[in-house]
């Protein structure tokens, strides 16, 4: 018996040792096969995929798929297999043929991908990304630091093992990958890899400067760097070659490879004043990275390009050897021109692996002259803008692209609203003021199966329990993870002429019982005033001391420090001001102080329209609507200075020893409603947060159907 136990224990130990070496360490015996198989390759400017025994041209019609859902952080990888399978079906029904992921996803993703494709005669393809740790890329390290290049190479090999179903990753062992057991081979549907994401220009420039006199070079079996290649390009060639070698030796296969790039590090040289204005001080040129005859699959150029990023072309006279492109109305099309420049420059296929437009209420970039593509766009307008982007990609002769993104992401932040929210709580509410959350073709709307309220003039979802104030003017309130909703009732309402005021008091530290500029009084000190004044002139305004933008951007906007004693607004100041957001405009000027001009966009202005997705008149940006004796309004939480409504946290008084945004918790707000011909009475509305328990349902946006009509009608598959 003792011998038996020893033998069994030894066998178990060997099995565990083999499992660890095989799935964790990546142990293998090199086959040394110089003719690896491939089902995808490049031919001049085309990508070819083998289907039914022959290679045919393949145009990438893709979507970028993230790992985030409401209530979860992206690195939680909380999406289940049922959701993935539903999304894969919807993506393919849209006419897309490719999914792009940025890094190694959960094993649930690959299992679902395998399940979806295994008996599918028309499979979805995958572009697998390879990431580098953000901490490493944005730290003081150069690209040849061991922690950079070795971890990048290791991540590349991990991605290879994952798609071939031969990897197990323990929880917490990799910052750039999910953990799990990856035991299903999905490599038959993986057309290629994209190494890296948006390289930090300072890391590129630092690496090139540090090693410019070191005579670095690299000549591998599958990939080499040309003489004169920059050090960062040599690093990319090194990692790319080792990745190809690993897959060729271990799995006897190859697939396409690309190195991610973006306009901030493109290979073009711009005039000095333009380069200075757009902080263009780094270049990555993949033409300096060449595959040998052993690399039979091939390379493509991958770029992330958004419409706002090509604005700098308006300052150019020379477009790299090509003629500039124009729209039908004769206006300059800088986006298409940039694509044409890329296509002319590169000797390999070019793919715009990330392009997109947000349908959020917030504004991040200045509106482009003439077409307003950077300003607020509805979901329908988002679709048109994406279609225009795709038309530019096609017209420039590129090999396709991937829309960013498949789903909205509650967890994302945007630079010009980041100061106003608790960024540690962003997955737990939908911040319609944050532009970056709404690039998706799929929306996550609050509610179990439908929203608690649709601002559409139909009041059937309102109940007696929602009533806060009764009388000649009746006010009801409800809320969810995205909005606070108001219903105003007045018998014989004259919407065009009646001006209605709704004071809102959130913090007891500040506020005023008098709005001097409108001559309206309240029976307690209010922080905000909602003014309903017809379809064109309704807005939310804020008492000047509680103006969030001033608390952070006063020096940039007003030219003074708001925290100096003489500039601090009184606690009970009767001045109510517009609610604005800040965006930047770039101007070519010799004066450094005039190159980046701050523009204020009034975000408190309300847009009239129907906000019900099921209505033929649906406008996703609509804030209010009137019907008969009723007015419905929805206000995004952040517009009311909520930093985290899931816990009912708002901005504290900016000037009471805080010097900026600090948070306090409240259990209610006071509201009133009146015509302004007397002191408006205010009543308390109890507020309860939802903590980490969010409700949401999925809804395909109008933009999804626009892209479906475009891609389904396409000739190439």
Residue 617 belongs to some domain of the structure: yes
Query: Is the domain of 260 the same as that of 291?
Result: yes
- 600 and 704 part of one domain: no
Answer yes or no: is pLDDT of 373 > 70: no
Determine, yes or no, domain membership for 440. Answer: no
Residue 283's contacts (CB-CB under 8 Å, 6 or more residues apart) are 204, 230, 265, 266, 267, 268, 269
353 and 461 co-located in one domain: no
Q: Cβ–Cβ contacts within 10 Å for residue 200, how many?
A: 17
**Considering the chain, what is the average pLDDT of its residues?**
93
Examine the domain organization and report whether 608 and 538 are in the same domain: yes
Q: Are residues 326 and 469 in the same domain?
A: no
Q: Strand pairing of 400-403 and 350-355?
A: parallel
* CB within 8 Å of 481: residues ≥ 6 apart: 70, 428, 429, 430, 446, 645, 646, 690, 694, 695, 696
pLDDT at 507 over 60: yes
| H/E segment holding residue 206 | helix 201-210
The pair of three-digit structure tokens given for residue 245, joined into one six-digit string: 């070698």
200 φ, ψ to 5°?
A: -70, 115
637-682: pLDDT as tens digits: 999 999 999 999 999 999 998 999 999 999 999 999 999 888 999 9
pTM of the model: 0.94
Both 23 and 114 in one domain: the answer is yes
* Residue 3 located in a structural domain: no
Q: Is the pLDDT of residue 594 over 80?
A: no
| Cis before 455? omega within 30 | no
Residues 412 and 557 in one domain: no
Q: Are residues 655 and 703 in the same domain?
A: no
Residue 644 lies in a domain: yes
Burial of 446 (0-12, 13-18, 19+ CB in 10 A): buried
Q: Within a domain: residue 437? A: no
**Residues 459, 608: contact at Cβ < 8 Å?**
no
68 touches 101 (CB < 8 A): no
Please name the residue that has the structure tokens 């197990």: 168
Tokens of 104: 């190694």
Q: Is there a single domain that holds both residue 370 and residue 466? A: no
Residues 348, 593 contacting (CB under 8 angstroms)? no
pLDDT band at 633 (very low <50, low <70, confident <90, very high): very high
Cα torsion angle, 146, 149, 155, 161, sign: negative
* Within a domain: 442: no
Residue 565 sits in the same domain as residue 706: no
Residue 13 has pLDDT above 60, yes or no: no
What is the tens place of the pLDDT at every residue in 166-186? 999 986 555 566 889 999 999
Ranges 14-18, 92-96, 433-437, 608-612: which has the least confidence: 14-18
pLDDT tens profile 377-425: 999 999 999 999 999 999 999 999 999 999 999 999 999 999 999 999 9
Q: Is 59 helix (H, G, I), strand (E, B) or coil?
A: coil
Looking at the fold, whether 459 and 373 belong to one and the same domain comes out as no
What is the DSSP track for 606-633? PPBSB--TTSTTB-TT--EEEETTEEEE
Torsions phi, psi of 577, nearest 5? -120, 165
Domain count, the chain: 2
E strands, 322-457, in order: 350-355, 400-403, 442-445
Which H/E stretch holds residue 542? strand 539-543
Q: Are 429 and 380 in contact, with CB atoms under 8 Å apart?
A: no
Instruction: Say if residue 716's pLDDT is above 60.
Output: no
Please provide residue 272's backbone torsions phi and psi, each rounded to the nearest 5 degrees: -55, -40
Looking at the structure, do residues 651 and 524 belong to the same domain, yes or no? yes
Q: 66, 36, 51, 6: which is closest to 439 by C-alpha?
A: 66
Answer for the pair 267, 283: CB distance below 8 angstroms, yes or no: yes
| Dist. CA 669–CA 93, nearest whole Å | 46
| Residue environment code for 50-85, b if the CB has 16+ CB neighbours within 10 A, otherwise e | eeeeebeebbbbbbbbbbbbbbbebeebbbebeebe
**Strand 60-64 versus strand 400-403 pairing type:** parallel
Check pLDDT > 70 for residue 589.
yes
Give the structural domain span for 226.
Answer: 18-431+699-712
Helices (H), 134-200: 134-137, 146-163
């Amino acid at each position: 018996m003792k011998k038996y136990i020893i033998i069994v224990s030894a066998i178990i130990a060997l099995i565990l040792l083999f499992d660890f070496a095989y799935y964790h360490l990546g142990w293998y015996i090199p086959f040394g096969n110089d003719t690896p198989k491939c089902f995808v390759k490049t031919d001049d400017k085309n990508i070819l995929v083998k289907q039914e025994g022959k290679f045919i041209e393949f145009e990438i019609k893709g979507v970028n798929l993230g790992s985030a859902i409401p209530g979860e952080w992206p690195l939680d990888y909380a999406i289940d297999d049922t959701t993935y399978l539903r999304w894969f079906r919807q993506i393919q029904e849209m006419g897309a043929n490719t999914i792009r992921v940025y890094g190694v996803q959960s094993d649930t993703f690959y299992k679902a991908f395998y399940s979806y494709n295994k008996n599918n005669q028309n499979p979805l393809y995958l572009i697998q990304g390879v990431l580098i740790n953000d901490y490493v890329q944005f730290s003081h390290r150069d690209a040849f630091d061991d922690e950079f290049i070795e971890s990048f190479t290791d991540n590349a090999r991990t991605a290879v093992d994952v798609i071939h179903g031969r990897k197990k990753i323990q929880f917490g062992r990799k910052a750039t990958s999910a953990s799990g057991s990856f035991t299903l081979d999905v490599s038959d549907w993986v057309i290629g890899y994209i190494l890296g994401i948006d390289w930090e220009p300072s890391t590129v420039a630092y690496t090139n400067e540090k090693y410019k006199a070191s005579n670095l070079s690299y000549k591998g079996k599958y990939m080499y760097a040309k003489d004169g290649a920059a050090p960062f390009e040599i690093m990319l060639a090194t990692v790319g070659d080792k990745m190809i070698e690993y897959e060729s030796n271990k799995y006897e296969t190859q697939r396409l490879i690309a190195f991610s790039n973006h306009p901030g590090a493109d290979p073009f040289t711009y005039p000095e004043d333009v380069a200075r204005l757009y902080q263009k001080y780094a270049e990555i040129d993949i033409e300096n990275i060449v595959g040998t005859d052993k690399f039979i699959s091939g390379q493509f150029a991958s770029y992330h390009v958004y419409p706002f990023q090509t604005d700098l072309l308006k300052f150019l006279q020379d477009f790299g050897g090509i003629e500039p492109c124009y729209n039908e109305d004769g206006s300059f099309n800088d986006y298409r021109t940039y694509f044409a420049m890329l296509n002319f420059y590169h000797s390999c296929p070019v793919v715009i692996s990330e392009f997109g437009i947000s349908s959020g209420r917030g504004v991040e970039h200045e509106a482009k002259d003439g077409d307003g593509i950077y300003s607020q766009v509805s979901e329908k307008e988002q679709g048109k803008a994406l279609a225009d982007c795709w038309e530019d990609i096609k017209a420039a002769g590129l090999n396709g692209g991937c829309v960013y993104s498949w789903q909205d992401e509650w967890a994302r932040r945007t630079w010009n609203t980041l100061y106003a929210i608790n960024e540690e709580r962003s997955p737990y509410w939908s911040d319609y003021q944050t532009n970056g959350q709404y690039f998706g073709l799929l929306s996550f709307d609050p509610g179990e199966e439908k929203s608690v309220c649709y601002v559409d003039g139909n009041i059937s979802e309102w109940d007696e329990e929602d009533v806060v104030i009764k009388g000649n003017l009746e006010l009801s309130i409800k809320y969810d993870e995205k909005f606070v909703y108001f219903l105003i009732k007045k018998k014989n309402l004259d919407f065009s002429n009646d001006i209605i005021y709704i004071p809102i008091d959130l913090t007891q530290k500040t506020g005023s019982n008098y709005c001097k500029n409108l001559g309206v009084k309240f029976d307690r000190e209010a922080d905000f005033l909602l003014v309903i004044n017809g379809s064109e002139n309704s807005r939310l305004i804020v008492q000047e001391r509680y103006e969030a933008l001033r608390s952070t951007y006063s020096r940039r906007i007003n030219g003074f420090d708001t925290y100096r004693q003489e500039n601090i607004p009184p606690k009970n100041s009767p001045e109510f001001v517009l609610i604005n957001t800040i965006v930047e405009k770039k101007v070519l000027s010799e004066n450094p102080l005039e190159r980046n001009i701050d523009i204020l966009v009034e975000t408190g202005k309300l847009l009239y329209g129907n906000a019900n997705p099921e209505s033929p008149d649906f406008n996703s940006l609509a804030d209010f609507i009137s019907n008969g004796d009723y007015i419905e309004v929805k206000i995004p939480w952040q517009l009311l200075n909520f930093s985290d409504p899931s816990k009912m946290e708002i901005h504290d008084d900016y000037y009471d020893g805080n010097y900026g945004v600090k948070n306090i918790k409240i259990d209610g707000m006071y509201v009133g409603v009146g015509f302004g011909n007397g002191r408006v009475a205010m009543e308390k509305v109890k507020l309860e947060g939802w903590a980490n328990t969010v409700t949401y349902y999925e809804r395909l946006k109008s933009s999804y159907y626009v892209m479906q009509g475009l891609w389904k009608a396409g000739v190439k598959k």
